[in-house]
Amino acid sequence: MTRASGRAERPILRSKLFLYVTEFFSGMGVMAAELGASRLLAPYFSSSQIVWTIIIGTIMIALALGAVFGGRWADRNPDPDRLYLRILAASVWIALIPLVGKYVILLVSGLLIVTVSTNFLVIAAFVSCMIVFVPPLFLLGTVTPGLNKFATDSLDDNASVVGRLSACNTIGSILGTFLPTFVTIPAVGTFVTFLIFSGLLLALAFVYFLSSGIRRIACALSAVVFAASAALSPMTGFAFWENRSSIAYEGESIYNYLQVKRLSDRTILSTNVLFGVQSVTMKRPGLTGMYYDTALAAPALADHAGSALILGMGTGTYARQLRQYYPHMSVTGVEIDQKITDLAARYFDEPGDIDVATYDGRAWLAASRDTYDVIMVDAYQDITIPFQMSSSEFFTMVREHLNPGGVMVVNMNMISDGRGSINEALTDTISSVFGSSSVRIADVPNTTNRELFAKRGGETMAASADAEALRGTVRERSGSDDLVEATVDVSGRMTGVRDPAKADDALILTDDRAPVELLGMRAIDNIIAQQAGPYRELLKREGIAGLLRQVQ
């Protein structure tokens, strides 16, 4: 079938308009799938730059291969039926992603976690992308060269046709970028977003085939698969293995996947279902037994305890603890995700009279002239701290917002020691700003948290951290015997830090160079190695059968 005869036999292709519409929706589908890929992977592997790089790279591979093979197939057999059949197949595959994708990701993770020793996140995210997203985007990558074949009548207008097709693809890509991020994902979630854009591609293929009176069975089967995925996908969430009765909320915001889980003694907020909990609130008043108790030493270490700023307010647990033990402190919170603030009021009993600004913590500091006695930096997201809140420039800004004698406390979420670790880099960076004599660290028992305290001027940190001095200060400011003993215990766990100016291997993080995601990935590798070590040994000794017996 020649190009001209192929177009003449399909009435819908007698006008080039439908070809341009096809290019438009193809570009839209590619970008919507890419944005959807980031949100599908984020609850399992994080939304870090590392994962974004993998998504973009694998999709570029798929599109490049699609362009090569699409052009070759169009030259060999310029049949538009085959092109629209590939669009139909791609739309069905994308429709199945909400139903099947999460199981593929967990299967890949389960297999790799007992076999891969380093770079788990990179390898697991790459393999998942290759399996889940490369096939449909490869098929969509064949669209442009195929359409160019059908749309070009002669070499005289070939460049103009290619330009119009490229413009349609680009405009579709723009909408496919903005609509998922700002409209569909916040409004109806990632799963439905996949179905919406899959449905648009499916409708495009249906119009082509049904107007030509062909492939009706294929269209009917595709409609059945689409309907089945639409019906079944919402029945399980990202954490499909969880006891659904304990999950009070599961949804998405512009920034995060969000899950609220109610346990017998606490309520938990998670933004990542594989690597820990982002915020916890105990149901009973008093000390939590968590890192908040260690961080409560900050008001006692400061020369005064009249005001506090929390960067990374989360669900407000630290604010509530401050209100309980230091009732006269004024507290201000900053949280970038408005939906987390809404959930905090709904599920976590966040004090309603605390002012919470919906802003990036660093941008908020840049716009504010207020100073505080205590500043809590608890901005961990996914696997690491945002790079803009880990640099010497950021901590200099925090220091300038502390009153003389004020204390900054930083929650370092993953204990990662040794040369080249993320905690070493953060500690050296903070010490370069505050001075090593003004910095102390304290590990939180039975957790992976470490709290770092840094003081601006006033008494030296060594004098402030003296157990007897702390005992009197806490009793005077709080009056709580429980907090007195807890704070004295914190002082016993405090250790000094090295002077980065005297260390040849010190890495001072800056706005220009802050590889916190790579450092955080190393910490994740260490945690996985510790947790998965016994299973890896079992796999070596007894093979897959022995491993399966163990996990049953």
What span, in angstroms and rounded, lies between the C-alpha atoms of 478 and 305?
A: 10
Concatenating the DSSP letter of every residue in 202-224 gives HHHHHHHHHHHT--HHHHHHHHH
Task: Please say whether the beta carbons of 482 and 286 come within 8 A.
Answer: yes
User: Which residues 6+ apart lie within 8 Å of 542 measured at CB?
Assistant: 549
**Count of Cβ atoms closer than 10 Å to residue 20 Cβ:** 18
Structure tokens belonging to residue 293: 């108790």
Residue type, position 7, single letter: R
Task: Please say whether the beta carbons of 13 and 80 come within 8 A.
Answer: yes
Structure tokens belonging to residue 324: 């309980």
Q: Say what the alpha-carbon torsion angle 434, 436, 438, 443 is, to the nearest 10 degrees.
A: 110
Task: Please say whether the beta carbons of 341 and 313 come within 8 A.
Answer: yes
Q: Which of 248, 114, 159, 210 is nearest to 534 (CA)?
A: 114
Known catalytic residue: 342? no
What is the enclosing helix (H) or strand (E) of 394?
helix 392-400
Angle at 471 between CA 468 and CA 476, to 5 degrees: 130
Q: Please report where in the chains the tokens 């193809």 appear, as a residue.
A: 26
Q: Please report where in the chains the tokens 């995601």 appear, as a residue.
A: 517
Q: How distant, in Å, are the alpha carbons of 252, 258, 278, 356, 506 from that of 338?
A: 11, 12, 15, 9, 37
Phi, psi dihedral angles at 371 (to 5 degrees): -125, 160
Strands (E), 418-516: 439-443, 450-455
Task: Please say whether the beta carbons of 350 and 321 come within 8 A.
Answer: no
Q: Which of 133, 147, 34 is nearest to 84 (CA)?
A: 147
Provide the H-helix boundaries in 251-307. Answer: 291-295, 298-301
What span, in angstroms and rounded, lies between the C-alpha atoms of 452 and 94?
A: 45
Q: How distant, in Å, are the alpha carbons of 150, 160, 227, 368, 504 from that of 156?
A: 15, 9, 45, 61, 66
- Taking each helix axis from N to C terminus, what angle separates 17-45 and 143-151, rounded to the nearest 10 degrees? 180
Q: Which of 242, 524, 191 is nearest to 382 (CA)?
A: 524
Q: Which of 293, 378, 428, 525 is catalytic?
A: 378
Active site residues: 378
